[in-house]
Amino acid sequence: MSGKPAIVNNRPLSPHLSIYKPQITSMLSIAHRATGIFLFFGVLILSWWLITSVYTDTTLWSVFASPIGYVFIALWSFSLFYHLLNGIRHLFWDMGKGFDLQCVTNSGIAVVAGAILLTIVSWVAAFKDIL
Amino acid sequence: MDLKSPLSKAKGLGSAKSGFAHWWAQRVTAVALIPLVIWFVANIVHAIGSEEHLLAFVRTPFNAIVMVLFMVSTLYHAALGMQVVIEDYIHCRCMKIISVVGVQLVCLVTAIAGIMAVLALHFSYLML
């Protein structure tokens, strides 16, 4: 089936987003999807920045040194760390481990805290020549 | 009594048919990306602190090879992930197919161009 149906469906739906209390499970799950999507577009941007900077004499380098460039890379790096840590959490679920509610809550908090920590540590390390 | 035909048993696919391959490839690329992302972040962080061009770390054969592996794994993982997202949110059948194939095409082109750029950089550093 493709396109719009001939008869419009006006039947009422049960409420969902309007009534459900946001919880750590659902919020982290949609964040995993949202960071994945943002990482996808970011990877395209970063890859093409790399490709064009190798093949041309463009001044695209300076784009990332601008305030908006820094904000973008900061958001992208946080997304990367969050998606990485939450992805590992998903892999444990795939092995059948960590499904009880307390573990899900605790691992969820650990993932968010870890992502914030890794973002801060990597940015400080990059600009303070620690590594 | 076994209701499965010998052919279906030989194929080994259940009701998910070819869908398992997608799920498995997503997990394999995910596991591969754990060390690859750590490697990538460590190199970028180190490179920002140094005076050289940001991507000069692909000078060594190890880094050039791993960079190619990183790009391919990332774009393959991204294409698989975006397929699931598109299938969830786009309901018009022809738009769904166009979007999924479009994402795969974009990932393929980016991967090829990225591999060429990494090799160009790697060989230019080898020549110096």
The ipTM value here is 0.89
**Predicted local confidence at residue A54, as pLDDT:** 86
How many other CB atoms are there within 10 angstroms of residue A111's CB atom? 23
Which residue in A2, A39, A51 is closest to B92 by CB distance? A2
Of A22, A127, A122, A128, which Cα lies nearest the Cα of A79? A122
Which residue in A2, A51, A90 is closest to B93 by CB distance? A2
For chain B (length 128 residues), average pLDDT per consecutive 10?
84 80 96 98 88 84 97 98 96 95 98 96 86
Q: How far is CA B125 from CA A57, B57, B121, in A?
A: 17, 10, 6
pTM score, whole prediction: 0.90
Asked whether residue A62 carries a pLDDT value surpassing 60, the answer given is: yes
- Please name the residue of chain A whose CA is at the shortest distance from the CA of residue B104: A40
Asked whether residue A4 carries a pLDDT value surpassing 80, the answer given is: no
**Predicted local confidence at residue B11, as pLDDT:** 83
**Predicted local confidence at residue A5, as pLDDT:** 56
Phi, psi torsion values for B2, nearest 5 degrees: -95, 120
